[in-house]
Amino acid sequence: MDIIVCVKRVPDTETRIRFSDGATAIEPEGVKYILSPYDEFALEAALRASEASEGGQVTVMTLGEEDSQETLRAALAAGADAAVLLSAQGSVTMDGLATAKALASELKNRKEQLVLFGVKAGDDDQQQVGPMVATLLERPCASNVVSFEMGEGVIRCDRAVEGGTEVVEMDLPAIVTLTKGAFELRYASLKGIMAAKKKPLEVKDADLAQARLTVERLDYPPERAQGRIVGEGVEAVPELVRLLRDEAKVL
Amino acid sequence: MGDVLAIAEQRDGRIRPVANEVVTVAASVAEGFGGTAHAVLLGGAGVGEHAGDLGGFGAEVVHVGEDPALEGHLPETHAAVIAEVVRSHGYTVVLFGATALGKDLAPRVAARIDAPLASDVTRVETEGDRVVGVRPIYGGKALARVGFEASPAVLSLRPNAFGTNGSQAAGRIEPFTPTIPEGVRTRIVDFQAAQSGSVDVDEASVIVSGGRGMKGAEHWSLLEDLRGALGPGTALGASRAVVDAGWRPHGEQVGQTGKTVAPRLYFAVGISGAIQHLAGMRTSQTIVAINKDPDAPIFAVADYGIVGDAFDVLPGLTAEIAALRAEG
Ligand SMILES: Cc1cc2nc3c(=O)[nH]c(=O)nc-3n(C[C@H](O)[C@H](O)[C@H](O)COP(=O)(O)OP(=O)(O)OC[C@H]3O[C@@H](n4cnc5c(N)ncnc54)[C@H](O)[C@@H]3O)c2cc1C
Ligand SMILES: Nc1ncnc2c1ncn2[C@@H]1O[C@H](COP(=O)(O)O)[C@@H](O)[C@H]1O
């Protein structure tokens, strides 16, 4: 079965984020970019599903700028068969609905029965693009999925929900957003990296609408007030409890 | 106009605390606009029984939609009904709680009503007739102040980041007959409960988190005892190292690739304080760290720290807190 995975290029979680006063975006210099962490899980889930079904292409797709090609090549090196860059005129913003519309307008003409997303992107943390695409395409969607299994015209997903695991079954075509699963990620081998250079990467113009959710300003989070070491070992416990009760007033 | 709609979440027919928080924010936004706050509560028969209580947090009107199809949480169905309520009343702002359910539902509603969505907002303000939200991005390394070029504006609010403001008022209940969409292609076939009675880490007011310093799954009873002493509303959390080692389920993971939480009190026990862990908990009100390494980065964000061996400190801490709570 053919599967398409929507992925995003985001700053490495370790990267220091810098921006100037009054800025609405970060300074790109010195920022290392990676495939968004949950999108790695989605890609891994897709590769496993295609291996299990013996055949079937895994395509990765992103809406982004030229530099996203690097991210797509990394996904190809990890095992994806083909890549699509929807080249955004103007920048991709935090407005997930604008992103979802651009992705949906491409997806509606493609024949993959299963579209995978990360549950949230490592930069904006909006946790919205997958279910929005599903709603726009009028396809069923299961979010926060740990693992899934394909059946005859259906997909069965284990979702991590409050208080336990919910098992849902959806008719295909369907959309799934992935959280961390109980599997190890594979890393690109040298062979994979070489092979990736020859895999198809298609670049298309995207039609990305004007953002209607706009960043007006970025601020650094307030420094937490300097904390204090109450003491060492179990002897410090009574003082800690006193401070929690009388000073912090949280007990 | 300038009316604000709060989506009130219920579970098993009971209104959840997060609903009171969302209604409180709705009331303050509505006040800024000179409008009124409404709430909508959906569920099976009888769900509306206590709906009037939401008035105590500022909802002048509570729309109650009861239908057997709304008893479970099929998000497609709920989203369709909520979108219909939004459309028929013309709200300028729609607020969800950024719980697991809310995060699944809000984008579906936003897409249906063609409105932009800001998720997991930690502050909401009004500026004249505009609503502005503040939301952490890049794992909490920056705060984005966001505005909306469309109406309605949809926001989901991080639980515990706002608090509640209650009174004795009662809301006016307006029952309506929801139109249930047909042809829903999602079926819930099973639910496997984790531990019964346990509070979810996203919404807990107190969290006891353990890291690799706990040395193994078999030592979690020490953290469970502390949770027990802290009373109801306390949840267990974990670092990714612990989850990757299989000591605890991923649902408990706090951090960039886990839950983002803002409890009143957060205990980090045997957790070093990696940047990705801090991403999930740095907006907690009070942070306590217990770590045997005085240079562990967690102490830089902790309000109070004890340098010491968790295996020595935990039993003493549990006993002291239990004694305090027993005093009353
Ligand atoms: C893309 C990405 C995403 C990530 N997402 C997350 C995430 O969501 N959440 C997360 O937590 N991490 C995440 N991480 C991992 C993160 O970088 C750290 O590896 C992880 O948080 C470390 O967990 P830890 O603090 O439990 O373990 P360690 O870093 O090993 O720290 C253990 C601590 O315990 C202390 N200790 C040891 N013995 C004792 C004792 N007897 N008593 C008291 N203290 C003791 C030590 O001094 C040390 O500080 C992510 C990493 C990446 C690359
Ligand atoms: N620009 C993009 N291109 C392709 N996929 C995206 C893009 N932005 C977000 N996604 C997908 O949507 C998921 C959730 O993103 P978000 O809603 O922004 O948190 C990501 O994990 C990706 O799978």
Chain B residue numbers with beta carbons less than 8 Å from the beta carbon of A162 are 11, 99-101, 200, 202-203
Nearest residue to B139 via CA among A26, A83, A43: A26
Task: Give the C-alpha separation, B302 to B307, whole Å.
Answer: 12
With a CB cutoff of 8 Å and minimum separation 6, the contacts of A55 are none
Interface membership of B295 toward A (CB under 8 Å): no
Structural tokens at position A4? 């398409």
- Residue A225 is predicted with a pLDDT of 84
Task: Give the C-alpha separation, B82 to B92, whole Å.
Answer: 14
Query: Do A13 and A38 meet the contact criterion of CB atoms below 8 Å apart?
Result: no
DSSP B232-281: TTEEEEE-HHHHHTTSS-GGGBBSTTSB----SEEEEES----HHHHHHH
Alpha carbon distances (Å) from A133 to A97, A103, A116, B73: 8, 7, 11, 20
Given a cut of 70, is residue B197 above it in pLDDT? no
Give mean pLDDT in consecutive 10-residue pieces for chain A, a chain of 251 residues. Answer: 97 93 92 95 95 90 96 97 92 95 97 97 96 98 96 95 90 96 84 94 94 97 89 97 96 91
Query: Do B260 and B242 meet the contact criterion of CB atoms below 8 Å apart?
Result: no
Q: Which residues on adjacent β-strands are paired with residue B306?
A: A231, B290
Alpha-carbon torsion, ordered B273, B276, B279, B280, to 10 deg: -80
C-alpha Rg value of chain A to the nearest Å: 21
Nearest residue to A97 via CA among A62, A130, A60: A130
pLDDT band at B198 (very low <50, low <70, confident <90, very high): low
SS3 B190: strand
Kindly determine whether residue B305 and residue A228, on different chains, have CB atoms separated by under 8 Å. yes
Q: Based on the number of CB atoms within 10 Å of its own CB, is A57 exposed (0-12), middle (13-18) or buried (19 or more)?
A: middle
Kindly determine whether residue A168 and residue B188, on different chains, have CB atoms separated by under 8 Å. yes
Interface membership of B327 toward A (CB under 8 Å): no
Nearest residue to A36 via CA among A101, A125, A114: A125
CA terminus-to-terminus distance, chain B: 48
Structural tokens at position A64? 């982004």
Query: Do B288 and B303 meet the contact criterion of CB atoms below 8 Å apart?
Result: yes
Query: Do B259 and B238 meet the contact criterion of CB atoms below 8 Å apart?
Result: no
Cis-peptide into B152, omega within 30 deg:
yes
Query: Do B86 and B111 meet the contact criterion of CB atoms below 8 Å apart?
Result: no
Query: Do B259 and B139 meet the contact criterion of CB atoms below 8 Å apart?
Result: no
User: Which of A28-37, A180-189, B35-44, B111-120 is the least confident region?
Assistant: A180-189
Query: Do A143 and A119 meet the contact criterion of CB atoms below 8 Å apart?
Result: yes
Q: Which residue has the tokens 């907002």?
A: B121
pLDDT in tens, B292-320: 999 999 999 999 999 999 999 999 999 99
Tell me, using a 6 A CB cutoff, whether residue A7 lines ligand 2: yes
Nearest residue to A137 via CA among A175, A187, A92: A175
Give the amino acid at A187. Answer: Y
* CA distance to partner chain B, nearest, from residue A49 (Å): 20
| Interface A-B: count of C-beta contacts within 8 A | 267
Nearest CA in chain A to B264: A250
Task: Give the C-alpha separation, B81 to B48, whole Å.
Answer: 16
- Mutation pick from A108, A141, A162 vs chain B, by most beta carbons of B within 10 Å, is A162
pLDDT band at B74 (very low <50, low <70, confident <90, very high): very high
With a CB cutoff of 8 Å and minimum separation 6, the contacts of B71 are B43, B44
pLDDT in tens, B229-284: 999 889 999 999 999 999 998 889 999 989 999 999 999 999 999 999 999 999 89
Q: How far is the CA of B221 from the centre of ligand 2 (A)?
A: 39
Structural tokens at position B65? 């939609």
Tell me, using a 6 A CB cutoff, whether residue B240 lines ligand 1: yes
Given a cut of 50, is residue B196 above it in pLDDT? no
Tell me, using a 6 A CB cutoff, whether residue A9 lines ligand 2: no
Tell me, using a 6 A CB cutoff, whether residue B258 lines ligand 1: yes
SS3 B308: coil
Task: Give the C-alpha separation, A190 to A170, whole Å.
Answer: 38
Nearest residue to A46 via CA among A166, A171, A175, A163: A175
Task: Give the C-alpha separation, A122 to A180, whole Å.
Answer: 13
Task: Give the C-alpha separation, B99 to B87, whole Å.
Answer: 23
Q: Whose CA is nearest to atom 4 of ligand 2?
A: A62
Query: Which bound ligand lies closest to the C-alpha atom of A64?
Result: 2
Please provide residue A177's backbone torsions phi and psi, each rounded to the nearest 5 degrees: -110, 135
Q: For ligand 2, pick from A129, A132, A135, A203 the residue to mutate: most ligand atoms within 8 Å of CB.
A: A129
Query: Do A230 and A240 meet the contact criterion of CB atoms below 8 Å apart?
Result: yes
C-alpha Rg value of chain B to the nearest Å: 21
Tell me, using a 6 A CB cutoff, whether residue A126 lines ligand 2: yes
Query: Which bound ligand lies closest to the C-alpha atom of B308?
Result: 1
Tell me, using a 6 A CB cutoff, whether residue A62 lines ligand 2: yes
Structural tokens at position B13? 């027919």
Chain B residue numbers with beta carbons less than 8 Å from the beta carbon of A100 are 111
Chain B residue numbers with beta carbons less than 8 Å from the beta carbon of A141 are 75-76, 108, 186
The alpha carbon of B4 is separated from its chain's Cα centroid by a whole number of angstroms, namely 20
